[in-house]
Amino acid sequence: MALLVALLVQGYGLYAPQAPGPDGIPGLDKVGHLLLFGIPTLLACWLRARWLVPVLVVHALVSEPLQQLLAPMRQADPLDLAADLLGIALAVGIAATARRRWGHDGGMATATTAADARQGESR
């Protein structure tokens, strides 16, 4: 559910007629782009929906030109694309680090895996 909400927020943030958020703070939109792509990527990795990562990369590549077509008041910005891709890369790195350090599997362990672990403990 969290991944779906993150993707809906991403869609709104990218394709709203005007950029959401406060005006006047330089670079704030880049932070928004980083988070709009980083959070869904991180959730996808933790939920073992890693197939979504390349989809998000493609979406990052097409979202800027598409944004300009769908919302004429907005302009394509290569730095926004860079922030999108940086968000994806950071999220993949964070997920990989968490998996290595803490063995985090997104809470998606199967009953078979849990049973196998119990069986291994009793030996």
Nearest to 75 by CA among 17, 11, 7: 17
Burial class of 63 by CB neighbour count within 10 A (0 to 12, 13 to 18, 19+): buried
Please say whether the beta carbons of 50 and 88 come within 8 A: no
Per-position pLDDT tens, the chain of length 123? 899 999 999 998 888 877 666 666 777 889 999 999 999 999 999 998 989 999 999 999 999 899 888 877 878 889 999 999 999 999 999 999 988 888 755 554 444 445 445 555 554
Please report, for residues 46, 52, 77, 99, the alpha-carbon distance to residue 113 in angstroms, rounded to integers and kept in the order given: 17, 24, 46, 16
Give the pLDDT of residue 121. Answer: 53
Pairwise CA distance, residues 37 & 29, whole Å: 12
